[in-house]
Structure 1
Amino acid sequence: MGLVWLLCGFVAPAVAAQPSPAKISDFLSQVQAAARTLDYSGVYIYQQGAAIQSARLVHVVDGTGERERLEVLDGPARECLRQNDVERCLQPDHKLVVVQPARSDHFPGLMLGDGHTIAQHYEWKPSGRSYRVAGRDCSVSELLARDHLRYSYRICTDQKTHLLLKWQTLDARGHLIDQIAFGSIRLGTDVPSGSLDSRWNTQGWKTETESGTPTDLQARGWRFSLPAGFAPVVQLSRKIGPSHGVDQLVLSDGLAAISIFIETFDPKRDQNVKQGGMRQGALNIYRLRLASYWLTAVGEVPAQTVREVARAVQYVPQAAH
């Protein structure tokens, strides 16, 4: 499969697109519903900065609900099998199965939560142009950020089913940062039977369960200054190993998400960990030391946003009492 089509922008000639919903909320709900309710299978390619990775995705809705199989095709073998809100991720090299909560916003899904405030922070601009992705006609539109706190997006949705076929992340100057798109896709009855079956026999493999316990970080003394439009989605305490725990606060504006991780500083474990920021494609990370804790903000938002989020966190121990 060639990568030229993926590494270029939408350059197709303008033609009339299919009628679109009048409001951004209706449009996004339509696209999200297609990702959750349709049967489809295909290979997509994800470009994040200089890194390119491909994966095979199968999604089927049957009498048991949503079922999905995601197989990473580059690097170490990895496969995730989802049944509704739970997924089992297989790591063949380690003969390990990790059971964890599933997310609904991964490609070709795009929303986290109901997205009722998205219109306040993004302008939806249907272009009236069509394009071809994976051999299917799709309509091009843009979700333009209204401020510097978030990225803009250019997307192409299938004209017949409204399924998201291509997603591009753009910086404030309109430059491409990263993108993800189907290179091949089958829909409905064209999805091969048995394509949800794993090719790995996991008998005798070790199983680990990743789960979190709901927590109230504010009651424990933590204070957060949230960027405009971002609201808390979940707060969890997780165990990472027998003696290492981490708290996580997830924020979202409906499209973009930021996670704040809080863990106790360990001089032996963390003495070589550096403070400051790093970036890969649209993903930015900012880490700093706060009292006896490490604080890490991670999100597919501009570097300034994660930096400001991290620096605004305060710890007031007496507030926990």
Structure 2
Amino acid sequence: MTGAGPVRRWARALGLALLLSAGSVPVLAASPDIDDFLQQVQTAARTLDFAGVYVYQQGAVIQSTRLAHVVDGTGERERLEALDGEPRECLRQNDIQRCLYPDRKLVVAQPARSDHFPGLLLGDGRSLGKRYEWKPSSRAYRVAGRRCTVSELLARDRLRYSYRVCTDQKTHLLLKSQTLDPRGHIVDQVAFGSIRLGTDVPTNALDAKWDTHGWKQETESGTPTDLQAKGWRFSPPAGFAPVVQLSRKIGPNHGVDQLVLSDGLAAISIFVETFDPKRDQNVKQGGMRQGALNIYRLRLASYWLTAVGEVPAQTVRDVAHAVQYVPKAAH
């Protein structure tokens, strides 16, 4: 079944954890060909100056975002502006970003993430040759008026999705990416509709749209935690390794613990929160999906367990059912 509201909530939480875990995926041996290709794509996303609008389709939801990225003497700077729904923009300076919500007169400071489009990798990606087969091709395509080369990252098992990407022939910048299920069907996709590079990037592309003087200021972060010490036991799918463990507040008197697993391209989060009969009386167990994002919830002892990830539904279900809770008194 689908559920846009809960899906967006857990997707935001997954994103925050990835902000705090950048660069921490363990390194294993991998194919140099896929290494070189992915490093070229990731380096282009981190070092080039570009500005444009990209469109992201996730299931029935389509969202447009204006993006500007510039590297100068101060480091990496970026501006993301949502063009659909509630007005909002995020301004990044290296490892910190400030997100502006004009309807609420709110500024939220948080760790910055660099894995979003047109980036691909979560961490350095050096173990990916063990889990994905890279199939380059000579087939050319055009995206946003620029010529790009199509290639595929094919999953070696059914635990994860495959990807079809189109990278700029001159700069290696990722211009389009499609996520493919095990049958080869597109489950989500993102692509630039327009883009400028280098000196064609407008000088005001990074300017904030709103004056935030007098707005409320908040900081969003998580505190490191040890879920095993709390009695939790996890069995990650093959190729997925723990990246970060966090405790976060998501509401008044409502906390959640989170474990993030990643294989370098895909991520799975496992959320643990105390069951509250009043708050959770209408919450149902089972799965929901939006595009490539799958969620599976179940009740375990006096806790809610939620697995979230851009992986096949069976993977998040298996991850959730493999979790065990051993109360401290039983240790």
What is the TM-score of this pair, normalised by structure 2? Answer: 0.89
Aligned residue in 1 for 2:262: 252
Give the Cα separation in 2 of the matches to 1:320 and 1:32: 46
1:175 aligns with 2:185: yes
Give the Cα separation in 2 of the matches to 1:257 and 1:134: 28
Distance apart, 1:207 and its partner CA: 1.3
SS in 2 for 1:23: helix
Letter in structure 2 aligned against 1:195: A
1:227 aligns with 2:237: yes
Instruction: Please list the CA deviations of residues 103-157 of structure 1 after superposition, one character each: whole Å capped at 9, or x if unmatched.
Output: 2210000100111111001000002111111111111000000000000000000
SS in 1 for 2:315: helix
Give the CA RMSD over aligned residues: 1.3
SS in 1 for 2:278: helix
Q: 1:194 to 1:311 in 2, by over 3 A?
A: same
Q: Choose between structure 1 and 2 for higher RCO, CA contacts under 8 A separated by at least 6 residues.
A: 2
Instruction: Please list the CA deviations of residues 254-310 of structure 1 after superposition, one character each: whole Å capped at 9, or x if unmatched.
Output: 000111111111111111111110000000000111111111111110000000001
Aligned residue in 1 for 2:16: none
Following superposition of structure 1 onto structure 2, how do residues 271-290 of structure 1 map, counting pairs within 5 Å? 271-290=281-300
SS in 2 for 1:296: strand
Q: 1:22 to 1:315 in 2, by over 3 A?
A: closer
Aligned residue in 1 for 2:305: 295
Aligned residue in 2 for 1:7: none
Letter in structure 1 aligned against 2:260: V
What is the TM-score of this pair, normalised by structure 1? Answer: 0.91
Letter in structure 2 aligned against 1:202: T
Distance apart, 1:36 and its partner CA: 0.5
Aligned residue in 2 for 1:307: 317
SS in 2 for 1:30: helix
SS in 2 for 1:305: helix
> What is the aligned counterpart of 1:166 among 167, 176, 183?
176
Following superposition of structure 1 onto structure 2, how do residues 1-321 of structure 1 map, counting pairs within 5 Å? 23-318=33-328
SS in 2 for 1:269: coil
| Structure 2, gaps ≥5 residues long | 1-30
Structure 1 runs, 4 residues or longer, greater than 4 Å off: none
Give the Cα separation in 1 of the matches to 2:282 and 2:263: 34
Letter in structure 2 aligned against 1:68: E
Q: 1:320 to 1:199 in 2, by over 3 A?
A: farther
SS in 2 for 1:182: strand
SS in 1 for 2:67: strand
Instruction: Please list the CA deviations of residues 80-115 of structure 1 after superposition, one character each: whole Å capped at 9, or x if unmatched.
Output: 111111111111111111111122210000100111
Distance apart, 1:22 and its partner CA: 6.4
Distance apart, 1:241 and its partner CA: 2.9
The total of aligned residue pairs comes to 301
Q: 1:317 to 1:201 in 2, by over 3 A?
A: same
Distance apart, 1:244 and its partner CA: 1.4
